[in-house]
Amino acid sequence: MNDKNEESIESSGCNRRQFFSKLSITLGGVAALIIGFPIVGFLLSPFLRKVPEVWRPVGSVDSFKVGTTVVVKYLDASPLPWAGVTANTAAWLRRDSEDKFIAFSINCTHLGCPVRWLSDAELFMCPCHGGVYYKDGEVAAGPPPKPLPRYPVRVRNGQVEIMASPIPITTI
Ligand code: FES
């Protein structure tokens, strides 16, 4: 084989190598996009998705006695189709007077544990670190940095309705 032929083979081999190198980089990039796009979309979706404000009925006005605080359960504002029972949420509902209702978040403002209502003491108690709230949701004792958040409440057609919204997240 003469020198010219060897040069030609070497140069075409080099081109082939470059071609496959570029092809594998391109295919790798496409594969990374195909795999990465859904992951990035999933991670960003909570920031991009607007949570709708929805009024949820929690019971007839007559079913709540004046001066009492009870737990009410309702459907989340934007339940996912596959959420099942996790789409249910709850709040503490207090009937202060004939026409005044207050809905409190069920989650403690310290680290989010569900608080319990002690009707005899008229206090909300958090079982996790001993946080205590008065019946109006103000902090009475313990580590909670803020009062219990409230949800908007209204009465429509004899039904008490709570505006469903995401669980308030505490930023200490
Ligand atoms: S989570 Fe309620 S006191 Fe800590």
Cβ-in-10-Å burial (0-12, 13-18, 19+) of 164 comes to buried
Residue pair 53/159 in contact by the 8 Å Cβ criterion:
no
Q: Whose CA is nearest to atom 1 of ligand 1?
A: 111
pTM recorded for the entire structure: 0.70
Q: Is the CB of 140 under 6 A from ligand 1?
A: no
**Per-residue three-class SS string for 26-56:** HHHHHHHHHHHHHHHHHHHHHHHCCCCCEEE
pLDDT tens-digit readout, 62-108 = 999 999 999 999 988 777 778 777 788 899 999 999 999 999 999 99
Residue of 108, 124, 146 to mutate, ligand 1, most atoms within 8 A of C-beta: 108
Q: Is the CB of 91 under 6 A from ligand 1?
A: no
